[in-house]
Structure 1
Amino acid sequence: MKALIYDAPKTLRFQDVPMPAMQERDTLIRVEAVGICGSDMHAFLGHDSRRPAPLILGHEAAGIVEEGPEKGRRVTLNPLVTCRNCAACHSGRENLCPQRQIISMPPREGAFAQFVALPPENLVTVPDTFPLSKAALAEPLAVGWHAARLGLEALHPAMEPRALVIGGGAIGLASYLSLRAQGLPMVDIVEPNPARAKFLSDHCTAQILPKPERAAPLIIDAVGIAATRAAASAHVEPGGVVAHIGLGEDLGGLDIRRMTLQEVTFIGTYTYTSQDFQDTAQALFAGGLGSLEWFEERTLETGVRTFEELHAGTVAAPKVILTPWN
């Protein structure tokens, strides 16, 4: 099969590779669409020790079951494989499973390829009329859905129902759409990149700001660098909530003194639970997360150039979807 291989920092190659190694109970899926995530970019730059080269990256995918009794079933992929037997799994917090695996990290190869392998319980059926290119957005949207849910659950009911999302990439946009879908009426997005900001203003109803203008009860940091954590610390209202998704930098930015004195709740959010993924997919298929016209579609063969353009900041769309078969 053809695949895009992460070979070394800032080095990718598109070539023939063996078919995926199948673990017990795995199902083989023909990949029809796969998105590029910020974590793929971190790996590409050599900033993610969890993704050592050589490796097939990519975990935001949708496709068609290739073999077995469900051959032909259209599916979107929950890439997080868990043990289903530990306390975290039994309590519905599968994303905290100590034995969790995710495609695009060893021992599981990713979906920047024509085929990928996953257990059947990780597959969610996609309606026949729903495009698989849009179904691949379920994974990044689920990340935003999970953060939005946790942030809203932690928000004191006496506080104004208003949020600020820092970062207008796919996860920031997913957080905005999820907050709105979960009932929050007022959500602004901070995005300093002019091209990205214009794209967002053309494709969603949020107010797009180059920098935070006022404090907010709930802030979602979808970037996760020192500067955005500092902005979140400075602009969260007393008694408010900061939900942190981004993994751009490990250290710096949080004003721990202010967060302590103002009783600010800080929540680290990682991926999603199985229920979050299911809820996101159903909202996606029902139109509850908007028209989804905010991605650019390219072929997997252009992956090397696409990563270079993303790194250079010349891609306006929050998400690029790669198609392995055209």
Structure 2
Amino acid sequence: MKALIYDAPQTLRFQDVPMPAMQERDVLVRVEAVGICGSDMHAFLGHDSRRPAPLILGHEAAGVIEEGPEKGQRVTINPLVSCGDCAACHTGRENLCPQRQIISMPPREGAFAQFVAIPPSNLVTVPEDIALTKASLAEPLAVGWHAARLGLEALHPAMEPRALVLGGGAIGLASYLCLRAQGLPTVDIVEPNPERAEFLSAHCDARILTKPDRAAPLVVDAVGIAATRAAASTHVEPGGVVTHIGLGDDAGGLDIRRMTLQEVTFIGTYTYSMQDFRDTAQALFAGELGALEWFEERPLASGPATFEALQAGNVAAPKVILAPWD
């Protein structure tokens, strides 16, 4: 099969590779669409020790089951494989399973390839009227869904139902869409990149800001660098909630004194539960997350050039989806 191989920092190769190694319970999925995540970019830059080269990256995928009794079924993939037996799994918190695996991290190869191996319990059937390109957005949308759910559950009922999202990339946009779908009427997005901000203005009805202009009861940090954590600390209202999704860097920014004195709740959010993923997929299929026309599609073979363009900040769309068969 053809695949995009992360070979070394800032080095990708499109080449022939063996078919995926199948673990127990796995089925083979023919990948029709796979999105580029910020974590893929971190790996490409050599900033993610969990993804050592050489490796097939990519985990935001949708496709068609290639073999077995469900052959031909159109599916979107939950890339997080849990053990099913631990306390976290039994309580619906599979994202905290100590034995969890994810495609694009050893021992599982990712979906920047024509085929990927995954347990059938990680698949959600996609209706015929939903394009598989849009179905591949279920994974990043589920990250936003999980963060939105936890943030709203923690928000005091007396506070104004309003949120501020820091970052207008795919996860920031997903958080906006999921907060709205879960009933929050007012959500502003902060995006300093003018091309990205213009794209967002054309594709959603949020207020798009270059910097925060007022405090909010709920602040979502979808970037996760010191500067955005500092902005979240400054612009969350007393008694409010900060949900932290982004993993841009791992140090600095939080004003612990203010958060303590103002009783601000800080929630680190990682991926999603299987129920979050299913709920997101159903909301996507029902049209509750918008038209989902905020991606750009390119061939998988263009992967090296696409990563370079993303690194240079030359892609306006929040998401690039790669097509392995083009």
User: Do both share a fold (TM > 0.5)?
Assistant: yes
- CA-based RMSD: 0.3
Q: Give the residue type in structure 1 aligned to 2:108.
A: R
Say whether residues 1:178 and 2:178 are aligned partners: yes
> 2:303 is aligned with what amino acid?
G
SS at match of 1:98: coil
Question: 1:269 Cα deviation (Å)?
Answer: 0.1
After superposition, what is the alpha-carbon deviation per residue over 1:269-323, rounded to whole angstroms, capped at 9, x for unaligned?
0000000000000000000000000000000000000000000000000000000
1:262 aligns with 2:279: no
How many residues were matched structurally? 326
For residues 5 and 220 of structure 2, the distance between their equivalents in structure 1, rounded to whole angstroms, comes to 32
1:100 corresponds to = 100
State the match for 2:124 in structure 1.
124
Q: What is residue 9 of structure 2 aligned with on the other side?
A: 9
Hey, what's the Cα distance between the residues in 2 that align with 1:60 and 1:51?
16
Would you identify which runs of 4 or more consecutive aligned residues in structure 1 move more than 4 Å? none
In structure 1, the partner of 2:274 is 274
* Amino acid in structure 1 at the alignment position of 2:234: A
List aligned pairs for 1:6-85, cutoff 5 A. Answer: 6-85=6-85
Gaps of 5+ in 1: none
Q: Deviations over 1:82-104 (max 9, x none)?
A: 00100000000000000000000
Once the two structures are superposed, the pairs formed by residues 150-161 of structure 1 within 5 Å of their partners are: 150-161=150-161
Q: Deviations over 1:146-165 (max 9, x none)?
A: 00000000000000000000
After superposition, where does 1:169-248 map in structure 2 within 5 Å? 169-248=169-248
Q: Counterparts of 1:142 and 1:176 in 2: how far apart (Å)?
A: 12
Q: Match of 2:85, SS? A: coil
Identity value in percent:
85
Amino acid at match of 2:76: T
Cα separation, 2, equivalents of 1:300 and 1:59: 14
| Aligned counterparts of 1:46 and 1:257: Cα–Cα separation in 2 | 34
Residue deviations 1:178-209, cap 9 Å, x none? 00000000000000000000000000000000
For residues 299 and 192 of structure 1, the distance between their equivalents in structure 2, rounded to whole angstroms, comes to 29
* Structure 2: segments with no counterpart, 5+ residues: none
Q: Distance in 1 between matches of 2:301 and 2:194?
A: 28
Question: Could you report, residue by residue, the CA deviation over 1:210-239 in whole angstroms, capped at 9, with x for unpaired residues?
Answer: 000000000000000000000000000000
Q: Does 1:318 align with 2:312?
A: no
Question: Could you report, residue by residue, the CA deviation over 1:26-52 in whole angstroms, capped at 9, with x for unpaired residues?
Answer: 000000000000000000000000000
Matched residue of 2:231: which SS?
Answer: helix
Matched to 2:96, the amino acid is: L
Cα distance in 1 for partners of 2:132, 2:59 equals 14
> Within 2, Cα distance between the matches of 1:215 and 1:68?
53
Give the deviation of 1:144 after TM superposition. 0.2
Give the 3-state SS of the residue equivalent to 1:50 in structure 2: coil
- Give 3-state SS (helix, strand or coil) of 1:247's partner: coil
Which amino acid counterpart does residue 196 of structure 2 have in structure 1? R
Secondary structure at the counterpart of residue 29 of structure 2: strand
Q: In structure 1, what is the equivalent of residue 286 of structure 2? A: 286
Separation (CA, whole Å) in 2 of partners of 1:229 and 1:40? 22
Paired amino acid for 2:106: P
Q: What displacement does 1:129 show?
A: 1.1
Alignment partners' CA distance in 1, 2:235 and 2:140: 25
TM-score, length of structure 2 as denominator length: 1.00
Letter in 2 for 1:13: R
Give distance in 1, aligned partners of 2:111 and 2:158. 44
Normalising to structure 1: TM-score of the pair? Answer: 1.00
SS of equivalent residue, structure 1 residue 113: coil
